[in-house]
Amino acid sequence: MIDITEVSSESGSLWYAEVGRHLPFVVQRIYYIIDVPEGAERGAHAHKALDQVLISVSGSFVVDLTDGVSKWSYTLNHPGKGLFLPAGIWRGLQHFSTKAICLVLASQTYDASDYIRDFDEFLAWKSK
Ligand code: TYD
């Protein structure tokens, strides 16, 4: 988990993270996921080379992870916490609350060939 720094005032809260100080890679891309319907799931893939940080800017959601051997599950529900998700980890995102916003910081620009979307293929790739 990465701590993101808050600057709070009477007019609201600002959160920031800097490459080198908080973030373990140079951010090349950001995207965010919103309006996830109740019961819907996202993810269900791994990346070969892409590192990411996931932040719940609003609301909450659950991130289930596996490296093919161990499993981890994290509930992201605070803008001050970023989940570092290195390459080579299978992820599923579920249980999005109403108005949840999942902000993703990524180490590379979009590359469809970096995805592994089949779990058996992921296990075979991990055992290489
Ligand atoms: P995907 O990464 O599969 O989303 P999720 O893991 O949340 O289910 O991406 C969904 C679609 O969006 C897929 O067709 C690829 C496209 N996409 C881009 O074009 N650029 C991007 O930066 C991202 C993250 C996705």
What would the pLDDT profile of 59-105 be if each residue is shown by its tens digit?
999 999 999 999 999 999 999 999 999 999 999 999 999 999 999 99
How far is it, in rounded angstroms, from Cα 13 to Cα 7? 6
128 pLDDT tier (thresholds 50, 70, 90): confident
| Catalytic positions, written as ranges | 45
Residue 40: exposure state from Cβ atoms within 10 A (0-12, 13-18, ≥19): exposed
Domains of the chain: 2-7+23-126 (2.60.120.10)
* Residues in the ligand 1 pocket, defined by CB under 6 Å: 29, 31, 33, 42-43, 45, 110
Mean predicted confidence (pLDDT) in 99-128: 97
30 pLDDT tier (thresholds 50, 70, 90): very high
Please name the residue whose Cα sits nearest to atom 1 of ligand 1: 43
How far is it, in rounded angstroms, from Cα 53 to Cα 85? 6
For the cut 90, the answer to whether the pLDDT of residue 122 exceeds it is yes
Residue 35: exposure state from Cβ atoms within 10 A (0-12, 13-18, ≥19): exposed
- Tens digits of residue pLDDT in 35-57: 999 999 999 999 999 999 999 99
State pTM to two decimals. 0.97
